[in-house]
Structure 1
Amino acid sequence: MTNTPHPQCALELKSVRKNFGQSEIIRNTSLQVTGGERIAIIGPNGAGKSTLFNLISGRFQPTSGDILLKGESITRLKPYQINRRGLSRSFQITNIFHRLSVYENLRCAALWSLGYRYSFWQRLDGLKDAHQRAEQVLEQIGLQRRHSSIAGVLTYAEQRALEIGITIAGGADVILLDEPTAGMSRSESDAAVELIRKVSTGKTLLMVEHDMSVVFGLADRIAVLVYGELIACDIPANIRSNPAVQEAYLGGADASLSPARER
C-alpha cells in the first residue's frame, strides 16, 4: 500500500490525533483537500475546530499522525516555516498592526514572499514589486479609500477585510480562515462572503465558520467535526440531509441544517 498523496491534494491530514494530558481533543482525523477546493469545517462548540487549525498551521504539534502540504510533511515545522511553504491563516481575533496604515500592513505581508529579508540598507519606498502587490490586494479587498488610514481606526468589518488581505498578500495558495464573519451584521457578512469568494478564486480554502448561510454559500464540501472526530465530509446537499450530522450537530434526527439556523 503506497503512502503517495493524491497528485492534486493541496492539504492532507493522515490519522491526526492531539492529546492535552489525558484529554483527547482530536481523534484519528483524516482529510484530503484538493487544490482549488473550498471546505468549511462545522461542529458544535468544543468540537476541536480551532485545535485542528492550530495543528495545521503549526501552533500545536500532533500527538500522532501526519499533516502534508502539497505532498510534503509539515508536522514538525514551525508556523513561519509553514507560512513560507504557501499556507496562511487568519484568526478568530483580528490580528493586524493597529498602528500602521492599511497599505503598510499589506506591504509588510508581501515582503517575505517576494524574497526580501531583514535589512537596514534597503528603503521600503524603493521596493516596487512589494508596492504593486500591496496595491493589488488593497483593490481586491475594496479598501482603496482607506489606503493611508491607520488600521486601528477601521470599522470591525474593515479590519476583518484587512486581515483577509494580509492573509493573501504573502502569496499563499492554501488559506485558512477562522470564523471570518464572526461578529458581523447580515449585510457585513454578505459582503465578506463575496470578498472571500473573490480572493480565494484559484486558491485552496479551509474555513471554520458557524454561520450556516456562509457555509452553504461558499463551501464545495462541508466537514463535520464532533468531539474531535470527523463524522462526515461531503457536498452541502448531502450534509444537510445526513441523519448522523443532524443528530450530532443539532441534537435531533428531525432537525434540518438550514442556512438560516445560526445567526
Structure 2
Amino acid sequence: MSAALEITNLRKSFGQAEIIRGVDLQIMPGERHAVIGPNGAGKSTLFNLITGRFPQTAGVIALHGHDLKGKAPFEINRMGLSRSFQITNIFPRMTVFENVRCSLLWSMGYRYSFWNMVARSQALTEGAEAVLEQINLQTRRDIPAGMLSYAEQRALEIGITIAGGADVIMLDEPTAGMSHSETDYIVELIREVTVGKTLVMVEHDMGVVFGLADRISVLVYGEIIASGTPEEVRGNPRVQEAYLGAALEADH
C-alpha cells in the first residue's frame, strides 16, 4: 500500500534561518497521525508547506504519489487534501447552512457562474444537510455562524473541511482554547467524521493526542526526532528530554 502523504528531505528557509531541516514523514491511508512539539518547532510551517501556502526550499511532498511542488492551495485541495486553521476560519454573517453549502460547491460541479441558483439545487441542499447532521449542528442551521459558541464554530470549521470529500484531513490545533467538556465534544466529532479518512493534526493537548492518534511524530527545531505509536513515543527518552515530560506536566 502506498502512502497517503509522503515527505522526503523537506526543508524550508526564511533568509538565513532554516525552519524545517530535512523532515522525512510517511503517513498511510486511514492513519490518524499527530505532529507534536514545543512552540517554535516548525509545526505550522510544516502544515503550510504541505498545503501549498509556502513553497518548499528543498525536498518532496507527495499526495497519493503525486508531487505537490508548485501547486497552489486550491489545487492541492482539489487533489483530495483539506485543512482547518489554528484560528477559526468561517463566514460569521452567513448562516451555518450557507457556510457548509459554500464548501460543497466545487465538489458538486458548481463553477464560476452568475446564473446558477444554488438555493434551488436539491442535491446541494441535501449534501449540506448531511454534513450538518455529521457535525451535530442541524438545530443551529439557520443562525449566523458568528453566533455559535466557540466549540460549535470549531465543529462547523471541521464540517467545512470534510464537506468537499477530501480523503486527507489536516487539523491545526482543533481543541485550542477549549474547556474539558468542549474538548471531549470535538474529539468525539473528529473521531466520527474521519472514519475511513487519513487524519494529520497538530495538537498541544497530550490527552487528545494519545486518545486519537495511531502514530505520533515529534518535531523539535525543524527536525523529527521520533515517530511511532503513542506507546513508543511516550517511552522514548529523547522525546521525554526534549518535550514530552514538560508537556505532560503542563496538562495536569
State the partner residue of 1:4.
Answer: none
1:118-197 alignment, distance < 5 Å: 118-197=112-191
TM-score normalised per structure 1:
0.93
Report whether the alignment pairs 1:262 with 2:242.
no
State the partner residue of 1:208.
Answer: 202
Deviation readout 1:51-75 (Å, 9 max, x if unpaired):
0000000000110001000110112
Q: Which of 30, 55, 63 is the equivalent residue of 1:36?
A: 30
Tell me the matched-pair count: 252
Secondary structure of the equivalent of 1:184? coil
After TM superposition, give the deviation of residue 256 of structure 1 in Å.
Answer: 7.9
Deviation readout 1:112-139 (Å, 9 max, x if unpaired):
0111101111111222222111111100
After TM superposition, give the deviation of residue 247 of structure 1 in Å.
Answer: 0.8
Q: Which of 71, 90, 99 is the equivalent residue of 1:96?
A: 90
- Structure 2's unaligned 5+ residue stretches are none
Structure 1 residues 99 and 245, CA gap change in structure 2 (3 angstroms): same
Q: Which of 47, 51, 55 is the equivalent residue of 1:57?
A: 51
Percent identical among aligned pairs is 64
* Preserved contact between residue 2 and residue 65 of structure 2 (Cα < 8 Å): no
Secondary structure of the equivalent of 2:177? coil
Report whether the alignment pairs 1:110 with 2:99.
no
Instruction: Compute the RMSD of aligned alpha carbons.
Output: 1.2
Report whether the alignment pairs 1:85 with 2:79.
yes
State the partner residue of 1:238.
Answer: 232
TM-score normalised per structure 2:
0.97
Deviation readout 1:158-202 (Å, 9 max, x if unpaired):
100000000001111100000000000000001100000000000
* Preserved contact between residue 3 and residue 28 of structure 2 (Cα < 8 Å): yes
Rounded to whole Å, the distance in 2 between the matches of 1:154 and 1:43 is 31
Structure 1's consecutive aligned runs of 4 or more residues displaced over 6 angstroms after TM superposition are none
